[in-house]
């Protein structure tokens, strides 16, 4: 865990922020896409203002993302081997839903008046699960990014469920890209994925009829069932206290006797300040949701008991920075 002890430590944080800001600026400006073909281009040949590109390109060169070359006095830039791998893998450009640096500049307004973050006109901007109905292209980039990052998490979650219950029918609530449900398929389960219509379409493109699908708002819609397992992967942090307390009894009612409720998320431990990931991610929820936050395992247990769950076990995977709370 990083601790801030010296002025030099603070300088390091500031420098890292500048580096990430350059990455996000190049992503939003289409500059990584402009270099995708592998050709070297000068600052004048890239989209944007020449001085700004010439000033920021060395930052990416220092990070090993770009290679600088000078021929006959003309400086040009191309993607390094590492940069090409990141572009091919879809890591670059960074989707706006994962960057959020422009919003962080208005954290002072959020601290004064509460979240979500206001835009330039003062209108508060809230997302639903990190997606926006008016931006399907960014939603797809966001879902693809989450899918890439979820290989280990989906596998470990499916293992935990399979170890505790024989195959049955599972509900992947807010299942997004579908990878968690697909991992359960490999364990012999059948799976229904419930999410908003546009997101379900993205999952269906990848998994077709291997999964069943429900479209709508799971905070209001019929959940179906009964299910032998219900999985919420990275959903709890986006819910307000009231939404969570309303949803948990509905989940209990949609489950068969002896079924499992599995909450996979970035939960605080008993200290209330660690691990690092939920502490930082709580700020993201403050900035972008009406009431989401990072919850602690200790506070979930009485909420689960009030909803009718008799037992709640906690499995922490420190190398993956997430926890599973498994309730019956």
**189 Cα distance to chain centroid:** 25
Q: Residue 121's pLDDT is what?
A: 67
Closest CA to 23 of 126, 96, 122, 74: 96
271 three-state secondary structure: coil
Residue 103: which pLDDT band, with cuts at 50, 70 and 90?
confident
Q: Please compute the mean of the pLDDT values over residues 148-177 and round it to a whole number.
A: 97
At residue 215, φ and ψ (nearest 5 deg) are: -110, 140
Written as six digits, the tokens of 254 are: 């949609």
pTM, to two decimals: 0.83
Architecture of the domain defined by 144-327: 3-Layer(aba) Sandwich (3.40)
Region of residue 99 (left: phi > 0; alpha: psi -120 to 50; beta: else): alpha
| Residue 98, pLDDT above cutoff 90 | no
Q: Using one digit for the tens of pLDDT, what is the confidence trace for 315-326?
A: 998 888 899 999
The pLDDT of residue 1 is: 65
Span of 97-111, 181-195, 273-287 with lowest mean pLDDT: 97-111
For 110-132, give the DSSP string: HHHH-SSPB-TTS-B---BTTB-
Q: Where are the domains of the chain?
A: 1-94, 144-327
For 128, residues 6+ apart whose C-beta sits below 8 A from its C-beta are: 196, 238
CATH class of the domain defined by 1-94: mainly alpha
- Across the chain, mean pLDDT equals 92
Which of the four pLDDT bands, split at 50, 70 and 90, describes residue 97?
low
Higher pLDDT, 229 or 122: 229
> Counting beta carbons within 10 angstroms of the beta carbon of residue 259, is it exposed (0 to 12), middle (13 to 18) or buried (19 or more)?
buried
Average the pLDDT over 16-28 and give the result: 91
Residue 250 CB coordination number (10 Å): 17
Give the Cα-Cα-Cα angle 40, 43, 46 (nearest 5 degrees): 75
Q: Do domains 1-94 and 144-327 have the same CATH topology?
A: no
Predicted local confidence at residue 287, as pLDDT: 87
Q: Report CA dihedral (238, 245, 221, 256) to the nearest 10 degrees.
A: 110
């Amino acid at each position: 865990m990083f601790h801030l002890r010296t002025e030099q430590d603070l300088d390091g944080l500031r420098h890292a922020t500048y580096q990430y800001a350059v990455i996000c600026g190049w992503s939003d400006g289409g500059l990584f896409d402009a270099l995708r073909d592998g050709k070297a281009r000068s600052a004048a040949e890239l989209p944007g203002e020449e001085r700004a590109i010439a000033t920021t390109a060395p930052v990416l060169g220092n990070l090993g993302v770009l290679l600088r070359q000078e021929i006959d006095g003309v400086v040009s830039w191309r993607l390094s081997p590492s940069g090409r791998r990141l572009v091919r893998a879809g890591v670059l450009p960074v989707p706006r839903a994962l960057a959020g640096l422009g919003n962080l500049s208005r954290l002072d307004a959020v601290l004064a008046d509460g979240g979500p973050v206001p835009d330039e006109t003062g209108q508060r901007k809230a997302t639903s699960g990190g997606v926006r109905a008016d931006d399907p292209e960014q939603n797809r980039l966001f879902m693809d990014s989450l899918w890439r990052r979820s290989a280990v998490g989906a596998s470990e979650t499916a293992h935990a469920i399979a170890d505790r219950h024989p195959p049955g029918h599972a509900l992947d609530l807010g299942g997004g890209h579908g990878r968690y449900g697909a991992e359960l398929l490999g364990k012999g389960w059948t799976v229904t994925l419930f999410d908003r219509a546009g997101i379900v379409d993205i999952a269906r493109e990848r998994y077709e009829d291997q999964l069943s699908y429900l479209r709508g708002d799971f905070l209001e819609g019929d959940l179906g069932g009964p299910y032998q397992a219900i999985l919420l992967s990275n959903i709890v942090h986006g819910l307000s206290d009231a939404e969570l307390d309303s949803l948990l009894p509905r989940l209990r009612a949609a489950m068969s006797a002896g079924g499992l409720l599995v909450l996979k998320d970035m939960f605080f431990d008993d200290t209330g300040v660690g691990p690092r990931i939920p502490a930082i991610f709580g700020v993201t929820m403050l900035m972008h949701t009406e009431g989401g936050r990072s919850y602690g395992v200790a506070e979930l247990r009485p909420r689960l008991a009030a909803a009718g769950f008799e037992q709640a076990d906690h499995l922490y995977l420190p190398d993956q920075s997430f926890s599973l709370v498994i309730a019956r």
